[in-house]
Amino acid sequence: MNAEKAGRQDVDALVKMRINYLSEDYGSLDAQDLSLIKRDLPGYFQTHLDRDLFVYVIRDDHTVVSCAFLLIVEKPMSPAFINGKTGIVLNVYTCPGYRRRGYAKKVMDALLCDAKNMNISAVELKATADGYSLYRSLGFADDQSKYSLMKWKNQ
């Protein structure tokens, strides 16, 4: 079991993994949302893969069965991210039949190794209850902040 970076030839598999992840995370996807995701996500991957989005995968034969996304964001410098380069982990997902075999740890190890090599100041993620202990074991800590996480949504 080796983790490797996904390439442009993997776009269809990455779309499938993203939809599987979202379907589990949201319980189900609205038909209109699913249609838009299927239509637009391949173009997103074609534009961003290996530029500001790096995807780490494990394959069984030629089929992607586990993945983790690292989105790189460059911000104005601050003491919290001294060189301005930060990473956001998204879509850590392993297909149900492959879980509890260390695949998520393996893709996260590869992701974090590359983050170090890219001189990323900080990597953040939102942990589910299932993933929390894995992320703690990899060195992630609960973010204690004087700020409240808030969102604005375009309706």
Can you tell me whether residue 89 is helix, strand or coil?
A: strand
Number of domains in the chain: 1
Do the domain assignments include residue 93?
Answer: yes
Residue 91, SS3 per DSSP: strand
> What CATH number does the domain containing 25 carry?
3.40.630.30
Rounded to 5 degrees, what are φ and ψ at 132? -55, -50
Q: pTM of this prediction?
A: 0.93
User: What band does 149 get if pLDDT is binned at 50, 70 and 90?
Assistant: confident
Position 33 pLDDT exceeds 90: yes
Instruction: Give me the domain span that covers residue 13.
Output: 3-127
Of 109-113, 116-120, 131-135, 150-154, the poorest mean pLDDT is in 150-154
- Of 88, 137, 98, give the one whose Cα is nearest residue 3: 98
DSSP assignments along 43-85, one per residue: HHHHHHBTTTEEEEEEEETTEEEEEEEEEEEE---BTTBTTSE
Residue 148 pLDDT grade (very low, low, confident, very high; cuts 50, 70, 90)? confident
